[in-house]
Structure 1
Amino acid sequence: MARKKQVGRRVEGWKAKKWYRVHVPESFGKTEIGDTITADPENLVGRVMTATLAEVVQDYSKSHIKMKFKINNVAGESAYTEFVGHEVTRDYLRSLVKRRTSRVDTTMPVITKDRKKLRLTVVCLTLSRAEQSQIHAIRLAIMQQIAARAAESDLETMVKDIMSGDLSRDLFKAVKTIYPVRRIEVTKSKIERIAAV
């Protein structure tokens, strides 16, 4: 008998919950990326949702890019988000790496023009095996280019440049003068906090 009452309470609790449509930020076109459920809309704020870039921009060649959005506002039956980071899938990254070549990983924090702190991971893949001095020169060139780009871009512009591939293209142009490069990818980004003035 007690069990029946418990089930009844559980059903009532479920009925009290409501579905909310989750939208990406305006800079990504406010696309709807799914639904989430809660009894109290205040509990949604801070919840992190994931979607592929393919779902956001309707381009299925970008399904290897996983994006993270944090809910920061709820209005009516809609939840609105802010971009907090991205990562490319392991399978995609593995498919890029070839034998007898060098993989140069660079992870660095950058501060944008609007004082936002962003941590980026960039992978550079060479056409043949590079020497240690060349790897060092490649990493240095990547870090200098990214720092200069961040200093003149706000966070929104920086994120757009990463997602569109513009930043990777510009890094490729800068690095190929040092050593023959096959590909450069910004494989991960994470917004950390507002930098101190």
Structure 2
Amino acid sequence: MVEQKIKVKKKTWVKILSPAIFGQKEIGETIVFEPKKLVGKKIDTNLMILTGDPRKQHVTIGLIVTKVDAAKALTITYKYQISPSFIKRLVRRGRSKVDNSFTCQTKDKKIIRVKPLIITKNKTQQSVLSSLRMNAQRILISAFAELTVSEAINAVVAKKAQDLLFDKLKRIYPIRSVEIRAIYLSNDKRNEGEVIEDIAPQEGEGAPEEPLSASVSAADKTEEEPLKKKSGAKKKKEAIEEKAEDDSDEGEEKEDDSEDKENSKDKENLE
């Protein structure tokens, strides 16, 4: 009898690279039979590993493999999430917390879920908190409608979305901090069977251009100038009024002293 040779498939090592926004650095490797089957696989990692900054260890980044080329797996971001322990440290006594969770559509027709978190400087009324929640949702929906999924998450990683919210919402009520608790690709049926596209940054840039910060219009900036002028004039007026009150108090004290002296002289004359 002729012995049949058993064909054994050999596994190959594939390096996993970070997204373009993080410089496509090697973050690990895996061994598989067919490298092409890695496409679509999801990986969770720490933002500290991607950036080398220990202050970012509270952020979890979700990566998804989009392409395998020459034993290298290319990935993009599909999730950004802050640890609950970090959120607990933000919320202190004497402050109010505004939570929200909603879905919005991106430029590439994907549905993402966004969960912003707003911390005020002081305890405030429910009507103010509702206004902050509604305005934050409106701002983020309009901003993310002009970005792809990858660009939206990259804007959150670069803190551009948080800065935009802070600049807008501080006009309603004093804000201590603004965070995005989570942003990720939703499990909506409209996302099934579609491929997420990644746009690499231009040379000399660590991230895409600032589409979110650019959405702050020049009209909004001009609105702040008269407010500053008014506040400065108001302060001057208050200072003048306080000085006038102090002068009047000093005058009254002097008059009282002179009256006391006259009364004492009259008593001496009578004696």
Identical residues among aligned pairs (%): 26
Aligned to 1:84: 78
Matched residue type, 2:151: T
Aligned to 2:171: 177
123, 126, 132: which one aligns with 1:129 = 123
User: Contact 2:11–2:34 (CA<8 Å) still a contact in 1?
Assistant: yes
Aligned-residue offset at 1:76: 2.5
Q: How does 1:93-108 map to 2 (within 5 A)?
A: 93-108=87-102
Cα displacement string for residues 42-71 of structure 1 (whole angstroms, at most 9, x for unaligned residues) = 332222111222222232221211101111
1:66 pairs with 2:40: no
Q: TM-score, normalised by structure 1?
A: 0.83
Which structure has greater strand proportion?
A: 1
* Structure 1 residue ranges without an equivalent (≥5): 1-12
User: Contact 1:27–1:156 (CA<8 Å) still a contact in 2?
Assistant: no
1:160 pairs with 2:154: yes
108-117 vs 165-174, which deviates more?
108-117
Residue aligned with 1:190, SS: strand
Aligned-residue offset at 1:74: 1.7
Aligned-residue offset at 1:98: 0.5
Cα displacement string for residues 1-48 of structure 1 (whole angstroms, at most 9, x for unaligned residues) = xxxxxxxxxxxx8x9433221112223321222122223323322221
Aligned-residue offset at 1:173: 1.3
Residue aligned with 1:142, SS: helix
182, 185, 191: which one aligns with 1:188 = 182
1:123–1:172 distance in 2 versus 1, CA, 3 Å? same
1:154–1:70 distance in 2 versus 1, CA, 3 Å? closer
Q: TM-score, normalised by structure 2?
A: 0.62
User: Contact 1:69–1:83 (CA<8 Å) still a contact in 2?
Assistant: yes
Cα displacement string for residues 147-171 of structure 1 (whole angstroms, at most 9, x for unaligned residues) = 1211233334322221011110110
Residue aligned with 1:160, SS: helix
Aligned-residue offset at 1:191: 1.5
d(CA) in 2 for partners of 1:171, 1:38: 44
User: Contact 1:22–1:78 (CA<8 Å) still a contact in 2?
Assistant: yes
Larger gyration radius, structure 1 or structure 2? 2
d(CA) in 1 for partners of 2:45, 2:166: 27
State the Cα RMSD in Å: 2.2
Paired residues, number? 183
User: Contact 1:122–1:188 (CA<8 Å) still a contact in 2?
Assistant: yes
Q: Give the structure, 1 or 2, with the largest relative contact order (CA under 8 Å, sep 6 or more).
A: 1
1:140 pairs with 2:95: no
* Structure 2 residue ranges without an equivalent (≥5): 1-7, 192-271
Could you list the runs of 4 or more consecutive aligned residues of structure 1 that deviate by over 4 angstroms after TM superposition? none
Aligned to 1:10: none
Aligned to 1:119: 113
1:21–1:92 distance in 2 versus 1, CA, 3 Å? same
User: Contact 2:116–2:180 (CA<8 Å) still a contact in 1?
Assistant: yes
Which structure has greater helix proportion?
A: 2
